[in-house]
Amino acid sequence: MSDTINVTLEVWRQPGAKAQGRFERYEMNGVSTHASFLEMLDGLNEKLINEGKEPIAFEHDCREGICGSCGFVINGQAHGPDRGTTVCQLHMRRFKSGTHLVLEPWRAKAFPVVRDLMVDRTSFDKIQAAGGYNGVNVGNAPDANAILVGKEAAGEAFDAAACIGCGACVAACKNASAMLFTSAKVGHFAMLPQGQPERYRRVARMFDEMEAQGFGACSWTQECEAACPKGISVKWISRGKRDYLKAKLVKDSGQSSDDGFAG
Amino acid sequence: MSWLVKTFTSHTGRKLLAGITGLGLVLFLVMHLIGNLQLFSSSSAFNEYAHSLHSGFLIVLADVGLLIAFPLHIGMVVWLAIDNKKARGAQGYKVANTKQKRNLAAVLASKSTLYGGLVLLFFVAIHVWHFRLQHESIANGTFGGGVGPGDLKSAVIATLSKPHWGALYAIGSLLTGWHLFHGIQAAFRSFGAYHPRYTPIIVKGGGALATIIGLGFTSMPIWVLLR
């Protein structure tokens, strides 16, 4: 295997939120196979800056696959072809020389493009703000074992809490639904004793907010799970729906969005 | 009452209604299939079945049930589909792809359930016109090629032996199976049902039931055409 490859990039360029976007082609020759995908884009951006052109805007922060900042679609696959990884942890050795790669931002009405491959994910913050927290002030951090949580419950809660909010689930869903994200955030609390008092109000408010933000509904195609860099299971969607229906049809809380939820 | 309306007009509520009505329709199809299989009997079992069905209470229950379930199922699903379409935004993807490792049939079935359903709408309309709305004239032998009054079996065979009708019914039946292949398991998901032991049974059982229903109904036009 040679140490460098040549790739053709077709990148969505959009100068601003309101501006008209279009695809532009770039030839990248002699890309090191040891480079990460974002490092390859850094190289392209240097080239563009040296030529006096606008560099490609894309989000990134930790580049370790844990912060949730990065993400775009490569040849129709959110975060690229590898499973269980963000695009920053994708490496150029994954591709053959001469590959044609189409780079597109997450496409969703609730994720408007800010610029190029960068989208505005405020809608996720709005869902989170609708109930993805404990509304009671509990003072300082308690001793680790003050509230006992069973091993299974703790493990399950952690699986859901692994969500980094990158938005790949929305990008991959044919309905641009935020079901996996919202259900993971709901489910993480629902597994723990601290999450119980507000459990049903939380799910009602977060699900309703998700809909208000313009995300689609779940069609159970399971694309979200496959695209999720943290491998969050679609079982959280079932659990979330169950809690939502209970909240709306059975429980005496969670019926309206104005039910005195603290915070 | 407004909470009830709000609940059933939310995405999750609409899906719940679509799931309940969908499973109701599956139940109807199972009964329908069992009844229709009498066609293969060499005796007059099919005619007797048809006669007792239409002179009993069951037909009224089925008619009323279908008149409620069908519009509700279609209405909820189309309403969801409109919201889902809007959610992608004006600009779609240039390249379509997947990262799924489930078998291709399951993935394709899940993505084509809506479109299959819309095609089925035409099939159901033709089918209802054919065998339900004209039941009286078929039963008294003035329509459909029955040999005499009450001879529905000959009328059904006469209709299905025409290649274009036979092909339509075969395709419609297969499409029904394809629609249910994803539909049955998805209905349970819409109720929020998940269990590590029972979910695999629902997925496999749903697929099996869909296959039985699809192939079961298809067997009739094929049998008539090959006879």
* Facing A221 at nearest CB: one of B16, B93, B107: B107
A169: left (phi > 0), else alpha (psi -120 to 50), else beta? Answer: alpha
User: Chain A 212-251, CB below 8 Å of chain B: which residues?
Assistant: 214-223, 226-227, 235, 237-245, 248-249
Q: Which residues of A touch B97 (CB under 8 A)?
A: 75-77
Q: How far apart are CA B192 and CA A200, in angstroms?
A: 14
Asked if residue B84 lies in contact with residue A175, where contact means CB atoms within 8 angstroms, the answer is yes
Architecture of domain B2-85+102-226: Up-down Bundle (1.20)
Among chain B residues, the shortest Cα distance to A204 is held by B7
Domain extents in chain A: 4-104, 122-249
Under the banding of pLDDT at 50, 70 and 90, the label for residue B209 is very high
Alpha helices (H) in chain B, listed in sequence order:
2-9, 11-36, 45-55, 58-88, 104-127, 135-139, 152-160, 163-190, 198-226
pLDDT tens, residue by residue, A176-219: 999 999 999 999 999 999 899 999 999 999 999 999 999 999 99
Q: Which of A10, A74, A179, A238 to mutate to test the interface with B (most CBs of B within 10 A)?
A: A238
Q: Which residues of B touch A243 (CB under 8 A)?
A: 192
The DSSP bridge pattern shows strands A99-104 and A77-78 to be unpaired
* Mean pLDDT of the region B21-42: 95
* Facing A255 at nearest CB: one of B3, B11, B111: B3
Under the banding of pLDDT at 50, 70 and 90, the label for residue A2 is low
What average pLDDT does the structure give for chain A?
93
Alpha helices (H) in chain A, listed in sequence order:
37-50, 122-129, 151-161, 168-172, 179-190, 199-212, 223-227, 235-249
Q: What are phi and psi of B143, to 5 degrees?
A: -145, 145
How many interface pairs between A and B have CB atoms less than 8 angstroms apart? 142
* Mean pLDDT of the region A43-68: 97
* Mean pLDDT of the region A110-135: 96
For residue B156, the tally of other CB atoms under 10 A from its CB is: 25
Q: Is B186 on the interface with A (CB under 8 A)?
A: yes
What CATH number is given for A122-249 in this structure?
1.10.1060.10
Among chain A residues, the shortest Cα distance to B13 is held by A245
List residues bridging with A36 in a β-sheet. Answer: A91
Res B147: pLDDT? 66
- Those residues whose C-beta lies under 8 Å from the C-beta of residue B88, and which sit 6 or more positions away, are A107, A108, A109, A174, A175, A176, A216
- Those residues whose C-beta lies under 8 Å from the C-beta of residue B175, and which sit 6 or more positions away, are B116, B119, B120, B123
pLDDT tens, residue by residue, B139-193: 777 776 666 777 888 888 988 999 999 999 999 999 999 999 999 999 999 999 9
Among chain A residues, the shortest Cα distance to B113 is held by A219
CA-based torsion, A78, A83, A86, A89: positive or negative: negative
CA-based torsion, A173, A178, A179, A184: positive or negative: positive
CATH homologous superfamily for the domain A4-104:
Beta-grasp domain (3.10.20.30)
More confident residue, B38 or A1: B38
Could you tell me what percent of chain A has a pLDDT over 70? 95
Asked if residue A208 lies in contact with residue B10, where contact means CB atoms within 8 angstroms, the answer is yes
Among chain A residues, the shortest Cα distance to B96 is held by A76
Res B146: pLDDT? 64
Q: Is the pLDDT of residue B18 over 70?
A: yes
What is the nearest CA distance from A55 to chain B, expressed in angstroms?
22
Q: How far apart are CA B51 and CA B45, in angstroms?
A: 10
DSSP state of A107: -
The residue type of B188 is: F
Q: How far apart are CA A174 and CA A190, in angstroms?
A: 27
What is the nearest CA distance from B105 to chain A, expressed in angstroms?
12
Under the banding of pLDDT at 50, 70 and 90, the label for residue B136 is confident
Q: Is B184 on the interface with A (CB under 8 A)?
A: no
Asked if residue A224 lies in contact with residue A171, where contact means CB atoms within 8 angstroms, the answer is no
Q: Is the pLDDT of residue A254 over 70?
A: no
Going from the C-alpha of A251 to that of each of A203, A243, B9, the distances in angstroms are 12, 10, 18
User: Chain A 29-68, CB below 8 Å of chain B: which residues?
Assistant: none
Distance, first Cα to last Cα, chain B: 58
* Mean pLDDT of the region A116-123: 98
Q: How far apart are CA A127 and CA A146, in angstroms?
A: 30
pLDDT tens, residue by residue, A130-149: 999 988 776 788 888 888 99
Q: Per the structure block, which two tokens stand in for B18?
A: 């679509």
CB pair distance less than 8 Å for B189 and A218: yes
* Facing A109 at nearest CB: one of B7, B80, B88: B88
For residue A140, the tally of other CB atoms under 10 A from its CB is: 4
Q: Which residues of B touch A172 (CB under 8 A)?
A: 98-99
Could you tell me what percent of chain B has a pLDDT over 70? 97
